[in-house]
């Protein structure tokens, strides 16, 4: 065997030595022969080795990095194009909004194969009980307050003061000043000067005259506008003068004062739109209507500008205070959030919330849907973070905007009791009437 391999090696060495020559042939005779036969013996060029190919590829890559490339669409261009596409859609949505209210929540409209996770954001008017769309809310509440003047002008004027005026500090200052006027009348009923209020008085003009509903309140509790002479002044001036009938009922004035001090703005109640879905792999997919983004056409243009600025900020260093300020502004972008809770049996419980509502509101919402609402449970975010019911955190502070999927989990002690009783931990826990209205998530 050893001799066999030696013969093979010798044969290879002999063949690689090239063409042979005669021992009697001189070197001078050999040179021209080799020169003439060179073209005939030209071998085909061999391809580059693997190492050469890798070196060439690396050199080509370095060369391409140095040479300017054709400019493709940047992230800023993509943002601008996306917003340009969204603006006409948002304008058409706002322009096609109906002016009249409805007592039924509209079903989500299909756009191709897209199904909205919620038909929109809806409210209940606390005065009339009507169901209002987001764009109708403020107008319809004001109309309800104004219509209340015919039945209870005092209560209607108090609601108007607290609801129509948005500056809460100005409202508090004006209400405290009115209460001071009424306190003086109550403490000094025999002194006539406290029963008259000069409308051109500087304090009255700065604190009360600017409030919508203030004049209606004075007239509703018994004040009357009267022209009275002013000492050292030629013409009369306008005063509010308390009538004798109202002065004879000091307890009514005191009651109206307390009502004014305890008044609150009339707020429409957000409808949760509770829905229950069957188990679905699309649980974490949310196609939200424009109501959840709280953007008008003008706001969308401003959002486009903010996005452009965000692209520029990525290339600059920011301090911690700058980053925190931007995060706070990002959290205030959303007014509402759509939350789903995956239950032990895989079913999904969905509801609409304010983005600034506390986590405790979600616990109450889930507890109202359970057969045994007294059993302790936990809610986990998608990242596994436990959301404590006792923590005073809002949804936007937890990153649960504008939508989120959470997981329901029994308390460990409850889970052990369930297993000890021989029951299945993943059995249905919702009230039977909710299971009758269960839907398919599409």
Domain at 195, CATH number: 1.20.58.2190
Q: In a 3-state reduction of DSSP, which class is residue 127?
A: coil
Q: What is the pLDDT of residue 347?
A: 95
In a domain, 310, yes or no: no
Torsion of CA 302, 303, 306, 308, to 10 degrees: -100
- What is the token pair recorded at 193? 């000067």
362 and 257, same structural domain? no
Strand runs labelled E in 50-195 = 122-124, 131-133
435 and 340, same structural domain? yes
Residues 181-221 pLDDT 10s: 999 999 998 999 999 999 999 999 999 999 999 999 999 99
Predicted TM-score (pTM) of the model is 0.65
In a domain, 398, yes or no: yes
- Looking at every residue in the chain, the average pLDDT score rounds to 79
In a domain, 132, yes or no: yes
The yes-or-no verdict on residue 369 having pLDDT over 60 is yes
Domain at 403, CATH number: 3.10.20.90
Per-residue pLDDT, averaged over 83-105, amounts to 47
255 and 151, same structural domain? yes
Domains of the chain: total: 2
Evaluate whether 313 touches 322 at the Cβ level (below 8 Å). Answer: no
In a domain, 53, yes or no: no
- Domain holding 232, by residue range, is 122-269
Alpha carbon distance 84, 78 (integer Å): 10
Alpha carbon distance 65, 69 (integer Å): 8
Residue 97's pLDDT band (cuts 50, 70, 90): very low
In a domain, 91, yes or no: no
In a domain, 237, yes or no: yes
Residue 348's pLDDT band (cuts 50, 70, 90): very high
Tell which residue, 349, 331, 352, 351, has the closest CA to residue 341.
Answer: 349
Residues 120-142 pLDDT 10s: 999 999 999 999 999 999 999 99
């Amino acid at each position: 065997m050893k001799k066999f391999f030696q013969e093979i090696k010798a044969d290879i060495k002999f063949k690689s030595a090239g063409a042979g020559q005669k021992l009697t042939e001189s070197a001078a005779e050999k040179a021209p022969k080799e020169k003439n036969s060179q073209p005939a013996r030209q071998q085909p060029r061999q391809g580059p080795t693997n190492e050469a190919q890798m070196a060439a590829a690396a050199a080509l890559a370095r060369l391409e990095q140095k040479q300017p490339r054709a400019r493709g669409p940047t992230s800023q261009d993509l943002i601008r194009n996306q917003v340009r596409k969204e603006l006409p859609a948002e304008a058409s949505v706002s322009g096609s909004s109906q002016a009249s209210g409805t007592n039924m929540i509209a079903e989500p409209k299909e756009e191709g194969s897209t199904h909205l996770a919620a038909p929109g954001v809806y409210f209940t008017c606390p005065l009339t009980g009507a169901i209002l769309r987001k764009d109708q809310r403020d107008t319809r509440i004001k109309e309800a307050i104004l219509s209340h003047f015919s039945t209870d002008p005092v209560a209607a004027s108090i609601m108007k003061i607290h609801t129509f005026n948005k500056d809460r500090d100005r409202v508090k200052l004006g209400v405290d000043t009115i209460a001071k006027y009424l306190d003086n009348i109550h403490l000094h009923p025999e002194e006539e000067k406290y029963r008259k209020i000069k409308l051109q008085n500087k304090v009255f003009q700065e604190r009360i005259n600017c409030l919508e509903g203030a004049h209606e309140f004075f007239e509703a509790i018994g004040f009357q506008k009267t022209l009275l002479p002013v000492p050292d002044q030629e013409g009369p001036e306008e005063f509010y003068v308390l009538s004798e009938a109202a002065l004879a009922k000091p307890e009514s004035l005191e009651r109206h004062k307390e009502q004014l001090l305890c008044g609150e703005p009339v707020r429409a109640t957000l409808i949760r739109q509770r829905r229950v879905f069957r188990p679905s792999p699309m649980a974490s997919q949310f196609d939200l209507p424009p109501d959840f983004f709280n953007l008008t056409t003008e706001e969308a243009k401003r959002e486009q500008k903010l996005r452009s600025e965000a692209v520029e900020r990525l290339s600059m260093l920011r301090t911690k205070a700058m980053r925190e300020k931007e995060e706070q502004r990002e959290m205030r972008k959303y007014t509402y959030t759509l939350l789903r809770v995956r239950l032990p049996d895989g079913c999904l419980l969905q509801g609409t919330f304010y983005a600034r509502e506390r986590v405790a509101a979600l616990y109450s919402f889930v507890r109202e849907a359970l057969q045994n609402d007294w059993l302790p449970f936990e809610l986990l975010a998608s990242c596994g973070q436990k959301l404590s019911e006792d923590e005073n955190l809002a949804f936007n502070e937890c990153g649960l905007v504008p939508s989120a999927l959470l997981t329901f989990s029994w308390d460990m002690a409850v889970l052990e009791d369930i297993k000890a009783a021989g029951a299945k931990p993943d059995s249905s826990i919702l009230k039977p009437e909710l299971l009758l209205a269960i839907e398919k998530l599409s």
